[in-house]
Structure 1
Amino acid sequence: MKLLEFIPIKLTLLLVLGILTGYFINTGIRLPFMLTLVSLSILGILLFKQKKAIGVTFGIIAACTTIFLGILIFTLAQPKNATDHYSHITSKGSETWKLKITEVLKPTSFSHRFIAEVMHYQTKKASGRIILNLAIDPIYGKFNVDDELIVLADKVDIKPPLNPHQFDYKNYLEQQGVYHQIYLNRHNFLRYDHPVRTLNGYTAHLRDKISAQLAQANFGEDEFGIIQALFLGQRDDITEETYTAFKKAGAVHILAISGLHIGIILLFLEFLLRPMELLPKGKVLKLIAIVFLLWGFAVLAGLSASVVRAVTMFSFVAYALYLNRPSNTFNILALSMFFILLVIDPMLLFNVGFQMSYAAVFAIVWIYPLLQKFYNPKPWVVKKVWQLLSVSIAAQVGVLPISLYYFHQFPGLFFVSNLLIVPFLGLILGMGIIVIVLVLMNLAPDSLIGLYNSVIGLMNTLIDWVAQQEIFIFQNIPFDSIQMVLTYTFMIALIWMIHTFTFKRLVSVLLCIICLQIWSLYKQDSTQNKEQLWIAHQTKNSILMHQSGAHLTIYTPDSASSTRIISDYSIKENIHTTTYQPLANAFSLNHSRLIIIDSSSVFLESDEYPDFVLLTQSPKLNLERLIDSLHPGVLIADGSNYRSYIKRWAVTCDHKKIPFHYTGEQGAFVLKLE
């Protein structure tokens, strides 16, 4: 099957190319707008003269137009490019906001967190999104979707990661159009009594009402959390142990309302509404009913980005089933992706869930038929098991490079959990809908609630068993973006070769393998030739990481709390071995000398002045005297020091004209020793 012969696939790839171009090259709005307008005008003239959309010239102009359109929609999707965005309004004195809560985030140990839409800023009408942090306090509780607030507080920048290779939460929020946050207390905000209600607010209220009534039923704690996740899209009540078990078992996708759930509901509705086909124009009526019910479920689940994306995609899949033309499946999927990126949000292209959803679906459509040709058993039971296993393998192959890139792990027993759970997920979802409806009507018998509770409990038990087979969980796998792209290129070339074997396709597969090997050798060589010392940031702890090739030596008084920082660094830097050492008083590496002064305030004087001095554990010393004695090149303070000391040291260093680096503000300090 020659996929690039399909026009929707070509247009989608060109649109993606345009969005990526806009992401990496900041062009502003004017240039892509003019280019899109000019290219559309040329297309119109050519179409008017030729009467048909044919010819090389028309194809080239159409391709350029689609690329320019991708750049334009990406640029327009950036909230900062809106003329009324709050960042364009000059702030004088205290900042005044009128905000509307649009999303409730998972709370932390200290505060509730929300995303709010900016309605007014400094008394001027404005737009934008901002994060609100509300300290947990029983006096004023928490906010709900659609609540409107008047806030008197200054916005605060969202900090980038302070340590190397940590998750970049700042970049993650910027991709969602969030650039600042505000901290609230009981004195700096007022809540409107009668805010304007929206569809989002009504659905949130409906979910809260359903959740409250379900909480009164006799469900177990873990079972209640699973039900909330499966039907209401709320995972806050799932315990950390349960979530970790699903993650290790390769079944975490079950906990998020995504393409899997919508796909199962679609198949269930296809079966349930099949009698409608007997009516005049029954197929059309069935299609309309299915799409209506899918979007009804999306409303119930909160119209989150992932749910809207999945329902949009499977609305197109429902249309493909209506056409009953297998060759059109790729066309329909590409068209749904084109529609989602063009109309809903081009930033979804950078969303992990979006990437995995489409990678899995495309892989199922492409790889599943090949697996069925490879082995087609006759016994009915064996055939059904093989079909289910084929779907699971195809989906896992499709998302494998993305999973390795983002999560650096691979659950070896994914097929076991999918074989045990996915066949019964339709039953779990169908039975759950019935139970929820009966609970809301106060008609659910205790026996039915107990039965459903046992079904969810059995699913959790199976997941726990799979997760405990840790020998089959491959973790901490180094895998970068180049490897992800090369792996997908290899997979596509391999599938093409399997589909129709030719010498050229064999050569392309071998070239992909060679490129992967060259890149791996290059990474290994880069690692072996790298030596550097990092002074990391962690509150109430000191961490020094000395990398010498593929070996990492960690100097810290508290190794247990530094595990996450060390793990993130080791994966990205391709570290093979690690050792832990107690924190020393001095380091001398490649003609660079570092002295460490801890709470004892003791340091050794010598004729050779240190290049760097690290202050840890809040030493009580006269910093001016130390500077006059040691003449350090740079003074460094890590996260183990008191904030009051940091402020005092910064003033002293500024007075003495000595560079001062605090890891809590400027991030980890690196000494490159190549």
Structure 2
Amino acid sequence: MKILNFTIIKLTICLVIGILIGYFIPIPIMMAMYFTLAASLLLGITYFIARKQFFKTIWFGITAFILMISIGVLTVNIHNQQNFNNHYTKHLLNEDDSGHAITFRIREVLKSNTFYDKYIIDVLQVDTNRTQGKLLLSIAKDTLKPTLNVDAIFSTKSNFKSLGYPLNPFQFDYESYLEKKYIYHQVSLKPTELFLISDNTHTVFGYANATRQFINSKLKKYHFKPDELAVINALFLGQRQDSVKTFIAITEMQELYIYWLFQDSTLELY
């Protein structure tokens, strides 16, 4: 295959292999870091040796591939916040204790269900310990309380609950899905159990959410139907919180676009 003759393609494949290795095989973060540093040093040595040689050797290329694989493994470990000592799980004795004082920041607003509004939150502090990590937050619905804003910081007292596992083998494994996003626990609260500390926007997620809200406020002037507005949000603003009908509409649009491309390319042949 001619495409494999491009160096960037080979390096990308090695990076993907490293990510898969790090995902399926538990490798300590310090080992991955030391191996990456050693591979980087070895790559530098082989580079300076290769510059002085008249005939090319394979060692520089092999070392570069090994380095990309190790970078892939290290990337997976860095994204898993459980590898760091300040992850909130390091400060939990058990999941069913009397509760912890938790300070958190709203990271993402999820699709709500009949009974709860759902969010992904960043855990900033547990009791007196500064922490990091993500949680699933469920807040009982209250028509008098507005949706929480991204970047808002709250304090509460609650215990950490394990994520629900599927009751039958054919049910969607929501626990496994969230664990792939490095979310391992959930917290369920009532609106009255939240104490607002700050409502300022100061992260990328907050500014992105403010931009989406501004665009939506402008779009409402054009009287789009709810499904049409949901498609716009899903395609252009990255909001996937609406009904299944929205995703069916998006799928149909994609199928129509692919069909149009196929028809156009067929006409060009003739």
TM-score normalised according to structure 2 size: 0.84
State the shift of 1:110 in Å: 0.9
Task: Assess if the C-alpha contact under 8 Å between 2:231 and 2:249 holds in 1.
Answer: no
> Relative contact order: is structure 1 or structure 2 higher (C-alpha 8 Å, sep ≥ 6)?
2
Q: Whole-Å Cα distance in 2 between the matches of residues 218 and 70 of structure 1?
A: 47
Q: Specify the alignment match of 1:175 in structure 2.
A: 180
Q: Specify the alignment match of 2:264 in structure 1.
A: 386
> Is residue 125 from structure 1 mapped to residue 130 from structure 2 by the alignment?
yes
Letter in 2 for 1:75: N
The SS at the match of 1:51 is helix
Q: Specify the alignment match of 1:156 in structure 2.
A: 161
Kindly report which structure 2 residues correspond to 1:33-48, keeping only aligned pairs within 5 A, or say none.
33-48=33-48
Q: Whole-Å Cα distance in 1 between the matches of residues 31 and 157 of structure 2?
A: 38
Q: Whole-Å Cα distance in 2 between the matches of residues 120 and 253 of structure 1?
A: 47
State the shift of 1:117 in Å: 0.8
State the shift of 1:38 in Å: 1.9
> Is residue 191 from structure 1 mapped to residue 196 from structure 2 by the alignment?
yes
State the shift of 1:252 in Å: 5.7
Letter in 1 for 2:188: Y
**Inter-CA distance 114–388: structure 2 relative to 1 (3 Å threshold):** farther
Q: Whole-Å Cα distance in 2 between the matches of residues 389 and 122 of structure 1?
A: 68
State the shift of 1:216 in Å: 4.4
Kindly report which structure 2 residues correspond to 1:249-288, keeping only aligned pairs within 5 A, or say none.
249=252, 251=253
**Inter-CA distance 244–61: structure 2 relative to 1 (3 Å threshold):** closer
The SS at the match of 1:117 is strand
**Inter-CA distance 35–227: structure 2 relative to 1 (3 Å threshold):** closer
Q: Specify the alignment match of 1:140 in structure 2.
A: 145
Task: Assess if the C-alpha contact under 8 Å between 2:99 and 2:160 holds in 1.
Answer: no
The SS at the match of 1:134 is strand
**Inter-CA distance 224–246: structure 2 relative to 1 (3 Å threshold):** closer
State the shift of 1:194 in Å: 4.2
Kindly report which structure 2 residues correspond to 1:94-493, keeping only aligned pairs within 5 A, or say none.
94-237=99-242, 239-244=243-248, 246-247=250-251, 249=252, 251=253, 385-387=263-265
State the shift of 1:80 in Å: 0.5
Kindly report which structure 2 residues correspond to 1:480-519, keeping only aligned pairs within 5 A, or say none.
none
Q: Specify the alignment match of 1:80 in structure 2.
A: 82
The SS at the match of 1:192 is strand
Q: Whole-Å Cα distance in 2 between the matches of residues 104 and 33 of structure 1?
A: 34
Q: Specify the alignment match of 1:643 in structure 2.
A: none
Q: Specify the alignment match of 2:67 in structure 1.
A: 65
Task: Assess if the C-alpha contact under 8 Å between 2:39 and 2:67 holds in 1.
Answer: yes
State the shift of 1:213 in Å: 4.0
**Inter-CA distance 143–46: structure 2 relative to 1 (3 Å threshold):** same
Letter in 1 for 2:115: F
Cα deviation, 1:362-418, whole Å, max 9, x if unaligned, reads xxxxxxxxxxxxxxxxxxxx999432899xxxxxxxxxxxxxxxxxxxxxxxxxxxx
Q: Specify the alignment match of 1:29 in structure 2.
A: 29
Q: Whole-Å Cα distance in 2 between the matches of residues 126 and 117 of structure 1?
A: 9
The SS at the match of 2:208 is helix
Q: Whole-Å Cα distance in 1 between the matches of residues 79 and 267 of structure 2?
A: 40
Task: Assess if the C-alpha contact under 8 Å between 1:243 and 1:252 holds in 2.
Answer: no
State the shift of 1:245 in Å: 5.2
**Inter-CA distance 240–16: structure 2 relative to 1 (3 Å threshold):** closer
Q: Whole-Å Cα distance in 1 between the matches of residues 204 and 69 of structure 2?
A: 34
Higher helix share: 1
State the shift of 1:164 in Å: 1.2
**Inter-CA distance 45–118: structure 2 relative to 1 (3 Å threshold):** same
Q: Whole-Å Cα distance in 2 between the matches of residues 162 and 383 of structure 1?
A: 44
Letter in 1 for 2:152: D
Letter in 2 for 1:131: L
Q: Whole-Å Cα distance in 2 between the matches of residues 243 and 57 of structure 1?
A: 49
Q: Specify the alignment match of 1:14 in structure 2.
A: 14
State the shift of 1:82 in Å: 1.6
Q: Whole-Å Cα distance in 2 between the matches of residues 213 and 383 of structure 1?
A: 32
Task: Assess if the C-alpha contact under 8 Å between 2:32 and 2:70 holds in 1.
Answer: yes
Q: Specify the alignment match of 1:518 in structure 2.
A: none
Q: What is the total number of aligned residue pairs between the two structures?
A: 262
Letter in 1 for 2:108: E
State the shift of 1:227 in Å: 3.4
Letter in 2 for 1:63: F
**Inter-CA distance 222–63: structure 2 relative to 1 (3 Å threshold):** closer
> Is residue 4 from structure 1 mapped to residue 9 from structure 2 by the alignment?
no
Q: Whole-Å Cα distance in 2 between the matches of residues 185 and 21 of structure 1?
A: 41
Runs of at least 5 residues in structure 2 that lack an aligned partner in the other structure: none
Identity, % of aligned pairs? 33
Task: Assess if the C-alpha contact under 8 Å between 1:97 and 1:123 holds in 2.
Answer: no
State the shift of 1:105 in Å: 0.5
Letter in 2 for 1:137: D
Runs of at least 5 residues in structure 1 that lack an aligned partner in the other structure: 255-259, 261-359, 361-381, 391-674
